[in-house]
Amino acid sequence: MSSPAPVPSQVDRILREGYGKSFETHTVFLTGSTGSLGGCLLYKLALQLPTRKIYVLIRGTREQAIEKWKSAMPDQTKAILATEKVEFVSGDIKSVDFGIEAAVMEQLRSQITLVIHTAAKINLESGLVEAFENNCLPALELARIASRFRRLRLLIQLSTAYCNSFLPDGPVLERPYNVAGEDSEEELASILTLDQSPHSLRFSSTYAQAKYVMEKLLPKRYPLLPILLVRPTIFGQALRHPYPLYGLEKSTPLNKFYQLLMADQGSTQVWHAAKGYKTGANIIDEVPVDFVANACLLHAAARTTGIVQIGSELYEPFTFDEYLNIAMTNAPPAIRRELPQIIFTEDQSAPQGFLAELVQVASRNWLFDCGRSYWMRQKLYLYRSGGTTIKTGIIIVRSSTLSSTVYNVHLSPPAYNMHINTILYNAHLNLTIHLERNTPIFHPDTILQNIHLNPRKYFSISTQ
């Protein structure tokens, strides 16, 4: 699949007017709304954007779906429902036509302009057939369904940056790669029939392999369908919306990693260093889930097709060493002395501990290119009280006389939580943001999410 740039006129319009207006004519079909990314997208589509209508696919009853939303978004679900934008569609992603009733399907065919497929089952230890039945076949079926949507402008299909985990360490570009000279149709048939593949050991997980085959087959089967494949890296908890630290536990792998690390008190763990390194100097690529949601919506407004990767290159990259140091230095004093000792080895044949074998990507150093999203960045001007300029991330701020929107920024008080976005500063710091007019902002949180900010600083923003 080629990766054409976003349509210039669309990008120019978004940079000039913002992207909220483009959603006034959108009727969205959303899957996976009870998951972390899907829930965040539902929140934004319902409450932050002038979306016309949102059809959400649910398995089970309306009441069951609402209870799951309330569990994940206890203070936001009522407001989402009060918009009266949400229409429930009963179905099952493993069924033909997703099990959607014929009358409802006809409504979708005549109304849907944007499809966002986030439904997935991420189990890194699942068998091949299970992984493909949950993460490859439904995407192919949805593309078949969407090919009959008469007003469709774009289908956004979530993939993963690790679908190319067979590649050596180094740059991973926003393009398709080939694991070998395999025929993807034959590969899929063999997996579903024999539950095996000669390529499986080259992938970091069966989930990654399922997404790889899905990426190959979608454009081959549906070459005329406007498809955007979004490859996020590791989901982290939300920076801002629906609320700070939002994210289902099963969808934030580094949280689970920290829990397992802390539980192994007093031990010594052996980890393979990434090739070319003596310690964990490789990037562990994590990005807040609401950052990914914003990127999806901006690309939807720009009608981007092809492949985009969303990772820490657009946020703030951290090495494995830095993650471990954050864990050690921010752990409660009572357990700090009992934390496991990490020993890195350059011997790739040396036996590793359970956690190292489970989190194999921690010993790799892929550098995910996110260049197709650079246009989303925006200039930021920060002022300390008294007019002193400061430096944030890689953005050097300075005085400006530009007419601007003004926000108040308050640094949060300290808290203990084993996650990069929740290692907070020890004191409040009041700043004022002056944001250039006519940028693609539609809500204050985007200030943090379209530029490089150091996630060691956790900001909350309110309109002045």
Residue 1 has pLDDT above 80, yes or no: no
Q: Nearest CA to 227 among 167, 144, 287?
A: 144
Q: How many residues does the structure list for the chain?
A: 464
Name all contacts of 349-356 with Cβ < 8 Å and 24+ positions apart. 350/270, 350/272, 351/270, 352/269, 352/270, 352/271, 352/272, 353/264, 353/267, 353/269, 353/270, 353/271, 355/257, 355/260, 355/261, 355/264, 355/269, 356/269, 356/270, 356/271, 356/272
Q: What is the DSSP letter of 415?
A: -
Query: In terms of DSSP bridges, do strands 318-319 and 114-117 run parallel, antiparallel, or are they unpaired?
Result: unpaired
pLDDT number for residue 249: 81
Q: In angstroms, rounded to a whole number, what is the distance separating the alpha carbons of residues 138 and 117?
A: 9
- What Cα–Cα distance (Å) separates residue 296 from each residue in 40, 304, 335? 11, 10, 40
Residue 458 or 33, more confident = 33
Residue 273 has pLDDT above 80, yes or no: yes
267: confidence class by pLDDT, cuts 50, 70, 90: confident
Extents of the domains making up the chain: 8-248+285-314, 249-283+316-365, 376-463
Angle between helices 62-72 and 36-43 in degrees, nearest 10 = 90
406: number of Cβ within 10 Å: 11
The CATH class of 8-248+285-314 is alpha beta
Percent of the chain with pLDDT over 70: 79
Residue 204 has pLDDT above 80, yes or no: yes
Residue 19 host element (H or E): none
CA atoms within 13 A on the CB side of 94: 9
431: confidence class by pLDDT, cuts 50, 70, 90: very low
Q: Which range, 180-189, 240-249, 277-286, 402-411, is most confident?
A: 277-286
pLDDT number for residue 250: 82
| Phi, psi values for residue 344, rounded to 5° | -95, 145
β-bridge partners, 235: 287
Residue 133 or 355, more confident = 133
Average pLDDT over the chain, rounded to an integer: 79
Q: Which of 81-90, 137-146, 269-278 has the lowest mean pLDDT?
A: 269-278
Query: In terms of DSSP bridges, do strands 27-31 and 53-58 run parallel, antiparallel, or are they unpaired?
Result: parallel
Q: Which two tokens stand for residue 299?
A: 């690309």
Q: Which range, 329-333, 400-404, 415-419, is most confident?
A: 329-333
In tens, the pLDDT along 92-146 reads 999 999 999 999 999 999 999 999 999 998 887 789 999 999 999 999 999 999 9
Contacts of 360 by beta carbon, 8 Å cutoff, 6+ apart: 204
Residues 236/420, Cβ–Cβ less than 8 Å: yes
Q: How far apart are the first and last CA of the chain?
A: 45
Q: Which residue has the tokens 């992207």?
A: 19
Residue 399 has pLDDT above 50, yes or no: no
| Phi, psi values for residue 388, rounded to 5° | -70, 135
Q: In angstroms, rounded to a whole number, what is the distance separating the alpha carbons of residues 460 and 175?
A: 35
Q: In angstroms, rounded to a whole number, what is the distance separating the alpha carbons of residues 124 and 61?
A: 28
292: confidence class by pLDDT, cuts 50, 70, 90: very high
Residue 405 has pLDDT above 60, yes or no: no
Q: In angstroms, rounded to a whole number, what is the distance separating the alpha carbons of residues 215 and 193?
A: 20
Residues 92/99, Cβ–Cβ less than 8 Å: yes
pLDDT number for residue 146: 98
Residue 113 identity: T
* Mean pLDDT, rounded, for 323-343: 80
pLDDT number for residue 6: 56
pLDDT number for residue 305: 96
396: number of Cβ within 10 Å: 10
Residue 231 or 198, more confident = 231
383: confidence class by pLDDT, cuts 50, 70, 90: very low
Q: Which two tokens stand for residue 167?
A: 């590649």
Q: In angstroms, rounded to a whole number, what is the distance separating the alpha carbons of residues 269 and 262?
A: 12
Q: In angstroms, rounded to a whole number, what is the distance separating the alpha carbons of residues 343 and 324?
A: 12
Q: Which range, 120-129, 391-400, 419-428, is most confident?
A: 120-129
Q: Which residue has the tokens 């901006």?
A: 298
| Phi, psi values for residue 3, rounded to 5° | -125, 75
Cα angle 175-178-184, degrees, rounded to a multiple of 5: 110
Torsion of CA 57, 48, 63, 116, to 10 degrees: 10
* Mean pLDDT, rounded, for 308-314: 91
Residue 250 or 392, more confident = 250
| Phi, psi values for residue 306, rounded to 5° | 100, -130
Residue 35 has pLDDT above 50, yes or no: yes
Q: Nearest CA to 239 among 82, 416, 445?
A: 445
